[in-house]
Amino acid sequence: MPIHERLSEQLDPDGTVLLTVECQNGVIGPDGALPELATEVRASGVPTRIARLVDGAHEAGVQVLHAVAERRPDGRGSNRNARLFRAARRLPVQQHPGTAAVRVAAPIEVADEDIVVRRLHGLSPIAGTDVDALLRNLGCRTLVVTGVSANVAIPNAVFDAVNLGYTAVVPADAIAGVPAEYTQEMIRNTLALVATVTTTDDVLACWKRRPPRAAQT
């Protein structure tokens, strides 16, 4: 089957969910906790592409999930078993529930029909969260993974999705990490082995070729 036909089949709106990973002010915003990552994300144009994917998903009737990472002020329930978690406790911007840091960052729009899933622990937006149960209840077969970072959360999400039986699709121009060249190596040498790697434009083109659910008979 030609690649465009396979991608179109995988991205059938009836069985597809779009996942944004840690696209929150405290991570990718101008005052984010990780300035190097936030600068790279904005310079690469990733937030704009994710916003286009979210808008396209809304138009096509594709469910959108936003995965947000949080940490209680007292740290209860959060991991302490890795250097990354210990460093996060010392960052000037904390991802505390209810603060601006954990709101989905502009220009990405959160619609009423979107689902926001918040986690207090771990490295993955899927493992140990409600995401898998939600995906199954939504009839998901294909998960489109976007966001940050290509260093940690994105590969975790893709591996978890594949291990749970979902088809993972990664628009390569809608994820980011640091340094920029590492993201490309991660895509080429790891994600491409387990996911369908494509582009924002190709995903949107597939969705535009199909009518939204409400219009289907």
CATH assignment at residue 26? 3.40.50.850
Average pLDDT score over the chain: 93
- Domain region containing 63: 3-208
Mean pLDDT of 171-192: 97
In a domain, 84, yes or no: yes
Full-model pTM: 0.93
**pLDDT computed for residue 2 by the predictor:** 60
- Does position 215 have pLDDT exceeding 50, yes or no? no
Mean pLDDT of 4-26: 95
The first and second tokens of residue 36, run together, are 């190097």
Decide: helix, strand or coil at residue 216: coil
Q: CA 123, 105, 14 angle in degrees (round to 5)?
A: 75
In a domain, 100, yes or no: yes
Confidence of residue 210 (pLDDT cuts 50, 70, 90): low
In a domain, 213, yes or no: no
Confidence of residue 84 (pLDDT cuts 50, 70, 90): confident
In a domain, 133, yes or no: yes
Mean pLDDT of 8-20: 97
Cα separation of 63 and 13, whole Å? 8
In a domain, 119, yes or no: yes
**pLDDT computed for residue 35 by the predictor:** 87
Mean pLDDT of 136-149: 98
In a domain, 18, yes or no: yes
How many structural domains are present in the chain?
1
In a domain, 216, yes or no: no
In a domain, 204, yes or no: yes
H/E element, 20: strand 16-21
**Gyration radius (Cα) of the chain, Å:** 16
